[in-house]
Structure 1
Amino acid sequence: MPSKSSARLAALTVAAVCSAASTVVIGSPAHAASVRVHDIQGTTRVSPYAGQQVTDVTGIVTGVRTYGSSKGFWMQDPAPDADPATSEGVFVFTSSTPKVAVGDAVSVSGTVSEYVPGGTSSGNQSLTEITRPAVTVVSSGNPVPAATRIDARSVPRAYTPQAGGGSINALPLRPDRYALDYYESLEGMNVQVADARVVGATDPYTELWVTVKPKEHPSAGGGTVYGSYDSQNTGRLQIQSLGKAADFPDANVGDTLAGTTAGPLDYNQYGGYTLVAGRLGTLQDGGREKETTRAASRRELAVATYNVENLDPSDDTFAAHAAAIVHHLGSPDIVSLEEIQDDNGATDDGTVAAGRTVTKLIDAIVAAGGPRYDWRSVDPVDKADGGEPGGNIRQVFLFDPERVSFTDRAAGDATTATGVTKVRGKAALTHSPGRVDPSNLAWENSRKPLAGEFVFRGRTVFVIANHFASKGGDQGLTSQYQPPARGSETQRHLQATAVNTFVKQILAAQKNADVIALGDINDFEFSTTARLLEADGALWSAVKSLPEDERYSYVYQGNSQVLDQILVSPAIRRGGHFTYDSVHVNAEFHDQISDHDPQVLRFRP
């Protein structure tokens, strides 16, 4: 992944766009008389002084950023105006290490700019800055303006004004009505949260997420469930630190940053509004432990899906993945693995075979006390299935030959579609393993579904392993465009329709067939993608059998959400003899070996 330190561009006289960031200057630079910070920030998301030179803007330094490509400092006017919509803080972009300290009273002259993290094509809001500054330190050791407390009472329940997909930039801020307006009215100011519960574990970039609304859609693990496009979680806030990375806490979901966490409120492309802490609360352990599901009984077939996140032979996570499969998942009879890379990982030399990768995992499972799984897969065409360049990720079936058998039928290849026929009056695949409709444009630069026929206690079970197109490129929840566009779902809708069509072909040949479609669907259980998979009753997402506070497999920006699903045919659902478990072993923990939690379905065929 690229660094999360976003590039800062100097102010330009015309709008500028690059792949990493944009600085937008409206019109040609003009000169403005001495103004106050709240004048610069104004009552909308875009400064009325954008593109203008301002002189002798005064304030107290509240935070200094000396690292990354966005060096500078925040300053705040200690004499606020009476308008709650106007922020009293602003970021001064110096490009090099600032020569100021917290508590300095400064006078700044420079150009007001609107910087768009991620570039204008990202749809992100802009951050008001003073760039190319001339800074004068007037005095030092001054009291820092008191931090504004952000809490459950101050953050409105409504998330954002709606603009029919248009920009909200020009709308007057209503911080008493909308959460995003409230945060925007504090942009650049010194803010604080108290005893904030962690809802997004510490990541490799020394960031975490908290909520100031612990009662807002709480998950069973202490997080915040994302259950609807129309009910956003307004209490979420990203936390970074102005201190040393080594001093940042290793937090899990459900922990608490006890006491006060305080610092300037920033905005970035990787999470929107972010409290950049000069003072961090003390980590209080919430006691969250990795979950364990029960093993299947003799009469139950256990089927799991597990995204192992770009696993290749050079990784050091094989033993940990094996322990998760054996000890936390109960050694399921069938495991659909997503993101198995080829035998030399990201090396782009035409290698597509994954035998070394899979065998290394199987050996690790045996060493952990599990069964010696057998496996089936279909190698992709080189560089045709997306994912990390050179990695050639694909789905793989592991199965325990002591419990279940695989029906091999003229194994397919990367470009040959498996079909449905009848054998002795029952549905059968023409290729097992085989790929589902691989020439369909729905799968362009994306993983093709892997289908296989299994037999458990004399009953055939069809399993379709999926890894749908990612959400990459969608506008963020804090986008200037509301509601944000989800352009990536267009391809997933086509993919869902293709899988649904294939399942219907099986059910047309055998009405009571046991069919399971599972994997990293990269979309929510309430999404149109899920509805298209379920169309005409062909499938049903079994995650909906769980209580709402347990429905999640992934945590993104403090939202616990469903991306991984197991969908079942009517015969399995009507049978009623099934249990479902989202086994939370990764997504809520700072030491995760994958960003996905595995899912397990147990049923009696």
Structure 2
Amino acid sequence: MTKVTIRDIQGDSLYSPFSGETVTVAGVVTGVLRRGFYIQTPNKEWDRLGSDAVFVYSPGWRPEVGVMVEAEGECLNYIKHETAKPVTQLRLIEADVVRVNPADYQVDPIEITAQLIPNDNARLARLLNALEGMLVTIASGQTFIAPSNAHGDYVLALDSSGVDRSAVRTEDGGVIVENSNPLRWFPGFRVSNYNHAQRLNLGAKLRSRITGPLHFRADAYQMSVDQPFTIDPYFVELSKTALFSDDASVTIMTLNCFNLDPHVESEHRVSNPRQDIDDDWGEGRFHTLAQAVGLQALCPDIIALQEIQDSDGAELTTVVDATVTYQKLIEAIETLTEVRYAWLDIPPESGADGGQPGGNIRNAFLYRADRVTPDLGSLRLLGTNDPCYTDSRKPLVVCFTHTASSQKLEVINVHFASKRHQSSIFAPENPGVDAKSEIRIAQAMVVANELEKIRLSNVEYYVTGDFNDTQQSDTLATLTDSGSVNLVMSLPENQRYDYNHRGKLQVLMHGLVSHRLAEQDRAQYEILHGNELIGINPGEETDKPSDHAYVIAKLTLA
């Protein structure tokens, strides 16, 4: 056993020089988490090169905040997964609590300010690694740039000294993702005690100081806070479309349904009972989606759906048919609006298209038979034999005829590969690398090749769905460089967003049309904001119908 300081075991790099050794350290308890606690060396000035705090892994015993602890344990570099940043921890063997006068052992928190945070991600990673576990504080007056989630997570823009204009800001105070730094880190905090957590929307203001140790989890840094905080709330009004179809035009809504299914799964038939059981009907998600269709989008002619699951949800069965899912959604819309929709899909092979195990996720269409007629012979999937679509949702294509004008419109509904496997900017190797980027580009090329065929037939087209990439990405460039126009670019810059990822608003849903349609001003586009701005109650299941905003286009065909 070696007696050392916390600074000794933290070292000056990502990896502790004492990894694998049994050591004894002393420090003041600054925060208590579910699986352990933080201690920090008191009465010491931070040298900005390394941390004076460490996490003690101790699920079975946790002391009170403020006491002095001498802890013996195994020092380790904890790595959660193969691309994760190592976190220096102490696996507790035994500990003694030393009762002391708190006034004699001060731990002064480091103030997190805009001036402290470097613009360069590599410098930022070094700074935050040197702050890891240390007590930090953020003053009041900041803006919440992400809505509250089920885990009690919050993200802030440092606006207390004036609005941070280093990025484009929305009217609500949100931050538009930067093309030059799409993974930019913003400070935030998690409140583990849900009695202290609050439901809030993007745009709310922090009105009390928060303090806690800087914790590394889920590939990012955030403060661990176990104290109440106060806010000025911000109210978000759901958007309503100004686009109406007529005898010369069609309206098309894009709706990510967030793994929608009508079934309450059995715990004995799912891959992960903790994650794979839900009750979308009982929780009202079918009804809130119906409200989106009827009250926000005003019953468009065509609805492109993503993330539709089969009729028994995530159960691991041979069922791939989603008839009941569609029937429930169509009935909910009809009850609210008296408008009856019909549906189209091509079920995937069981387990072949990725997504939640057992769910057999797919793209689909709802359509109003009084407004448009699908050519069922044209209904097809793209990429069924292409390697880039292995274990991925295939684009669904169909040609609709607009009843009033007799004009045809080919609609392609996509859901490209996820960004979930993208490395964090804090990863020790290849920070920020997106492992699926090349796959999405290849998927887009399959769509681009299909559009080339459609253009030869002189039929107008509309490509929509969840592209899982922004308008500046190589994925979208693959489509726009080959002859299409992205209608997202017709919107003001501070309105180009439908999704919020850790405080960064971005566009993942797009609408692409021909140059002819765009240049003749026959294409209009809106994003119906709401889901990406509105918070939920921490500690509860989400009651939001989708994690995306909805988009709607009006295309004049005649």
TM normalised by structure 2 equals 0.89
CA contact (8 A) 1:271 1:557 kept: no
Asked if 1:397 corresponds to 2:357, the answer is no
Asked if 1:96 corresponds to 2:60, the answer is yes
Deviations 1:10-66 (Å, cap 9, x if unpaired)?
xxxxxxxxxxxxxxxxxxxxx54x3322222222222233333323x222111112x
CA contact (8 A) 2:143 2:157 kept: yes
Asked if 1:529 corresponds to 2:475, the answer is yes
* Matched AA of 2:554: R
- 1:442-461 paired onto structure 2 within 5 Å: 442-456=388-402, 457-461=405-409
- 1:134-533 paired onto structure 2 within 5 Å: 134-140=94-100, 142-143=102-103, 145-160=107-122, 178-195=123-140, 196-212=142-158, 214-215=163-164, 216-217=166-167, 218-230=169-181, 232-234=183-185, 236-242=186-192, 244-268=193-217, 270-298=218-246, 299-314=248-263, 315-316=280-281, 317-369=285-337, 371-409=339-377, 432-456=378-402, 457-510=405-458, 513-533=459-479
Measured in 1, the distance between the counterparts of 2:476 and 2:495 equals: 18
Local SS of the residue matching 1:368: helix
Deviation, 1:593, is 1.9
* Matched AA of 2:59: S
Match of 1:41 in 2: 10
Ranked by relative contact order (alpha carbons within 8 Å, sequence separation 6 or more), the top structure is 2
Asked if 1:567 corresponds to 2:536, the answer is no
Deviation, 1:229, is 4.5
Deviation, 1:297, is 4.5
Local SS of the residue matching 2:533: coil
Asked if 1:543 corresponds to 2:491, the answer is no
Measured in 1, the distance between the counterparts of 2:427 and 2:139 equals: 27
Deviation, 1:232, is 4.6
CA contact (8 A) 2:183 2:432 kept: no
Deviation, 1:351, is 1.3
Deviation, 1:338, is 0.5
Q: Could you say if the C-alpha distance between residues 559 and 399 of structure 1 is closer, same or farther in structure 2, counting changes exceeding 3 Å?
A: same
Deviation, 1:464, is 0.5
With 521-530 and 478-487 compared, the bigger mean Cα shift is at 478-487
Q: Could you say if the C-alpha distance between residues 480 and 547 of structure 1 is closer, same or farther in structure 2, counting changes exceeding 3 Å?
A: farther
Match of 1:77 in 2: 41
Match of 2:541 in 1: none
Local SS of the residue matching 2:137: strand
Q: Could you say if the C-alpha distance between residues 185 and 219 of structure 1 is closer, same or farther in structure 2, counting changes exceeding 3 Å?
A: farther
CA contact (8 A) 1:352 1:382 kept: yes
* Matched AA of 2:126: D
Deviation, 1:323, is 0.2
* Matched AA of 1:134: E
Deviation, 1:344, is 1.4
CA contact (8 A) 2:351 2:360 kept: yes
With 292-301 and 309-318 compared, the bigger mean Cα shift is at 292-301
Q: CA RMSD in A?
A: 2.0
* Matched AA of 1:540: V
Deviation, 1:209, is 2.0
CA contact (8 A) 1:200 1:208 kept: yes
Measured in 1, the distance between the counterparts of 2:144 and 2:288 equals: 24
Deviations 1:181-212 (Å, cap 9, x if unpaired)?
22222111111112332222222222222232
Match of 1:581 in 2: 526
Local SS of the residue matching 2:366: strand
Asked if 1:595 corresponds to 2:544, the answer is no
Measured in 2, the distance between the counterparts of 1:369 and 1:141 equals: 68
Measured in 1, the distance between the counterparts of 2:130 and 2:554 equals: 50
Measured in 1, the distance between the counterparts of 2:431 and 2:238 equals: 35
CA contact (8 A) 1:263 1:278 kept: yes
* Matched AA of 2:40: Q
CA contact (8 A) 2:69 2:95 kept: yes
- 1:47-66 paired onto structure 2 within 5 Å: 47-55=16-24, 57-65=25-33
Q: Could you say if the C-alpha distance between residues 481 and 257 of structure 1 is closer, same or farther in structure 2, counting changes exceeding 3 Å?
A: farther
Measured in 2, the distance between the counterparts of 1:501 and 1:563 equals: 21
Match of 1:112 in 2: 75
Local SS of the residue matching 1:595: coil
Measured in 2, the distance between the counterparts of 1:301 and 1:340 equals: 23
Measured in 2, the distance between the counterparts of 1:390 and 1:94 equals: 36
Measured in 2, the distance between the counterparts of 1:125 and 1:483 equals: 10
Deviations 1:65-104 (Å, cap 9, x if unpaired)?
2x3xxx2111111222462222222111123122x21111
Deviation, 1:402, is 2.4
Measured in 2, the distance between the counterparts of 1:482 and 1:349 equals: 39
Measured in 2, the distance between the counterparts of 1:141 and 1:129 equals: 27
Deviations 1:121-155 (Å, cap 9, x if unpaired)?
1x121111122343221214515512211121221
With 88-97 and 78-87 compared, the bigger mean Cα shift is at 78-87
Measured in 2, the distance between the counterparts of 1:383 and 1:90 equals: 43
CA contact (8 A) 1:308 1:340 kept: yes
Measured in 2, the distance between the counterparts of 1:183 and 1:280 equals: 25
Measured in 2, the distance between the counterparts of 1:572 and 1:589 equals: 34
User: Mind listing any 5+ residue stretches in structure 2 that lack a counterpart?
Assistant: 264-279, 537-543
Match of 1:130 in 2: 90
User: Identity of counterpart residues, as a percentage?
Assistant: 29
Local SS of the residue matching 2:214: strand
Deviation, 1:159, is 2.2
Deviation, 1:318, is 0.7
Measured in 2, the distance between the counterparts of 1:520 and 1:297 equals: 23
Measured in 1, the distance between the counterparts of 2:219 and 2:210 equals: 18
Deviation, 1:482, is 4.2
Deviations 1:539-598 (Å, cap 9, x if unpaired)?
222112222222221111222122111111222212223221121121222242211111
Match of 1:172 in 2: none
* Matched AA of 2:112: I
Local SS of the residue matching 1:259: coil
Q: Could you say if the C-alpha distance between residues 455 and 184 of structure 1 is closer, same or farther in structure 2, counting changes exceeding 3 Å?
A: same
Measured in 1, the distance between the counterparts of 2:237 and 2:134 equals: 37
Measured in 1, the distance between the counterparts of 2:259 and 2:108 equals: 46
Measured in 2, the distance between the counterparts of 1:220 and 1:233 equals: 20
User: Mind listing any 5+ residue stretches in structure 1 that lack a counterpart?
Assistant: 1-30, 161-177, 410-431
Measured in 2, the distance between the counterparts of 1:351 and 1:390 equals: 9
* Matched AA of 1:582: I
Deviation, 1:528, is 1.2
Measured in 1, the distance between the counterparts of 2:447 and 2:529 equals: 27
Deviation, 1:476, is 2.1
Number of residue-to-residue matches in the alignment: 520
Measured in 1, the distance between the counterparts of 2:223 and 2:512 equals: 39
CA contact (8 A) 1:224 1:233 kept: no
With 592-601 and 476-485 compared, the bigger mean Cα shift is at 476-485
Q: Could you say if the C-alpha distance between residues 239 and 551 of structure 1 is closer, same or farther in structure 2, counting changes exceeding 3 Å?
A: same
Local SS of the residue matching 1:401: coil
Local SS of the residue matching 1:433: strand
Measured in 2, the distance between the counterparts of 1:501 and 1:604 equals: 24
TM normalised by structure 1 equals 0.82
Measured in 1, the distance between the counterparts of 2:261 and 2:134 equals: 45
Q: Could you say if the C-alpha distance between residues 40 and 596 of structure 1 is closer, same or farther in structure 2, counting changes exceeding 3 Å?
A: same
